[in-house]
Structure 1
Amino acid sequence: MGKIKWKPGNMIYPLPAVMVSCGKDEEEHNIITVAWTGTICTNPPMTYISIKPERHSYEIIKRNKAFVINLTTEALLRATDYCGVRSGKNENKIKKMKLNLIQTEEVQAPLIEESPVNIICEVVEIKKLGSHDMFIAKILSVYVDEKLMDGQGKFHLDAAKLFAYSHGVYYSLGEKLGTFGYSVKKKSKTKSKQLKQKKGFNEAVTK
């Protein structure tokens, strides 16, 4: 099978499409959707987002040195897309999409209540790259939706129905194919029991 050579470009897909909330008060609050985000360090926990300097949220985040990454679900799909194609310079996207913001204690930025996971970030460096600038940040804390916790204290993020972004298209996540390290693990006798418990929890969450 042959290969076709293309010019250099960003083809690392799929990616998360997250809503990034920013602003120290209601007058300044805004949400921008980005796909250029990810993990860059485990210890200390660090992340990044890349934003074009002309975007409305750019100066807000630069000024307050803070933002919140809010994971998005299928229920938030329309709001996620809208906040990516409309500008906070021209309208209040938060009210338009009927989202609720909660000001955080750690930084001058709010979290989105409807998101299952809110990652509180403090900017430590801004790298000028070209079309986008990278905001490198420390993760100060993480808030999770308590309804995704089971009786044993385990967090079931898969029950939140996250989606992925790939080359201009949004996709729901498919069936589970494996877990980290599954290729070298021995088969567990309790696997079927664990799967039944997880299925029961997921059904309870979606009711």
Structure 2
Amino acid sequence: MSKKIHKPITGLFPLSAVLVTAQSGDIRPNIITIAWTGVMNSIPPVVYVGVNPLRYSNHLIAEAGEYVINIPSADQVPAVDYCGLVSGRDVDKFEATGFTPVPAEHVQAPLIAECPVNIECKVRQVLHLESHDVFIADVLAVHYNEEVLDEKGRPDYQKIKPYGYCLGEYYGISDKLGSQGFSRKLKHRIDE
């Protein structure tokens, strides 16, 4: 098997494509599309978003010290893409997309009602890198739309319909490949 070397890039994929809402003071809330997001710690739960300082939401998050990560479903890709193409300086993205702002429990930034999952975040630290500010935040609350929960009240990912962002394109995540720990049942095959 041969490999071809490329110049360094952020070559991790798929990335989560999320909608981050931010609001500071009396300024109308904004929505920004973010692919640079993830988990940093489990206990306590800590997440992050990376936002270019030139983006309108950067100063909203910096001033307020909080944000909401809204996880959209695959059928919302056109609105997610749109929110990444226009600036909140010029466009009310809630009005333009038809998304409904819903008050959060702990932060000023609203939840997006139509997104099946919403994560309220309080910034604990900002890491200023060359191209992006990384807003590291404690998770204050997680909201699920009732219709995406299974009979035991757990998130059902088939109903949430998450998707990934890969090198400028959106891809669905559809096939279950296994469950955590399933490789132990296959151990004899792996060791051979």
TM score, norm. by length of structure 2? 0.92
Asked if 1:32 corresponds to 2:32, the answer is: yes
Contact kept in structure 2, 1:21 and 1:111, CA below 8 Å: yes
Q: Residue in 2 aligned with 1:17?
A: 17
Partner amino acid for 2:61? Answer: I
Normalization by structure 1: what TM-score? 0.86
Question: What is the number of residues matched between the two proteins?
Answer: 186
Structure 1 vs Structure 2: percent identity of aligned residues?
Answer: 39
Contact kept in structure 1, 2:20 and 2:32, CA below 8 Å: yes
CA distance in 2, matches of 1:10, 1:69: 21
Three-state SS of the structure 2 residue aligned to 1:88 is: coil
**Cross-structure match for 1:203:** none
Q: Distance in 2 between matches of 1:44 and 1:63?
A: 24
Query: 3-state SS of the aligned residue for 2:16?
Result: coil
- The 1-side partners of 2:154 and 2:185 are apart by 21
Q: Report whether the alignment pairs 1:102 with 2:102.
A: yes
Cα RMSD over matched residues? 1.4
Shift of the alpha carbon at 1:26? 6.9
1:144 alignment counterpart? 144
Stretches of structure 1 lacking an aligned partner (at least 5 in a row): 187-207
One-letter amino acid of the structure 2 residue matched with residue 69 of structure 1 = I
Find the residue that maps to 1:5 and give its secondary structure.
coil
Task: After superposing the two structures, state which structure 1 stretch, 3-12 or 150-159, moved more.
Answer: 150-159
Query: In structure 1, what is the equivalent of residue 189 of structure 2?
Result: none
- Alignment partner of 1:83 is 2:118: no
The residue number in structure 1 matching 2:121 is 121
User: AA paired with 1:51?
Assistant: V
**One-letter amino acid of the structure 2 residue matched with residue 143 of structure 1:** H
| Structure 1 counterpart of 2:103, one-letter code | Q
Give 1:148 shift. Answer: 1.8
Summarize deviations over 1:98-139 as a string: whole Å, max 9, x none. 000112120121110001100000001111111111000000
Determine helix, strand or coil for the equivalent of 1:96: helix
